[in-house]
Amino acid sequence: MLKEFKDFIMTGNVIDFAVAVILAGAVGLVVNGFVADIIMPVVGHFAGGIDFANLKYVLTAATGTEGAEGYVAENAVRWGAWINTIVNLLIVGFVMFLIVKSYNKAKPPVVEAPAGPTAEELLAEIRDSLKK
């Protein structure tokens, strides 16, 4: 069983998958940083200086002092953070589109094998050779 597990782990597919997962995590961090630190400040600037991450609808305001006894945290719908997430999704989708598009351009074209004779043509050849 240990040998089977070793054979499974050492196959190319598992290693390729592990590399892809690690790279996806790194690309995700880069894209999240790009959205949070570059795109959203620009969007906020053109939207009148709004920081979307802080936009929320407060359901219950916080009461008391944080860390003190009887403190109740704020309960809010953070819809601005949700907008940030949607922008992040759109950017990640666009980046993935560009990566797949460039990958498809870089791949060598698939050369199809020449089409052989159809079944009818083969049967006609057999018939003709039998007549001879």
Q: What is the pLDDT of residues 16-53, one digit of tens each?
A: 788 888 888 888 888 888 888 888 888 888 888 877 78
More confident residue, 52 or 125: 125
CATH of 2-110, one of 3.40.50.300, 2.120.10.90, 1.25.40.80, 1.10.1200.120: 1.10.1200.120
Compute the chain's Rg from CA coordinates: 30
With contact defined as beta carbons under 8 Å apart, do 108 and 64 qualify? no
Cβ pair 27, 91 in contact under 8 A: no
pLDDT of residue 87: 82
Write the pLDDT tens digit of every residue in 57-95.
989 888 888 888 888 888 999 898 888 888 878 887 887
pTM of the model: 0.55
pLDDT band at 99 (very low <50, low <70, confident <90, very high): confident
Distance (Å, whole) CA 95 – CA 31: 9
Burial profile 46-83: b = 16 or more Cβ within 10 angstroms, e = fewer: eeeeeebeebeeeeeeeeeeeeeeeeeeeeeebebeeb
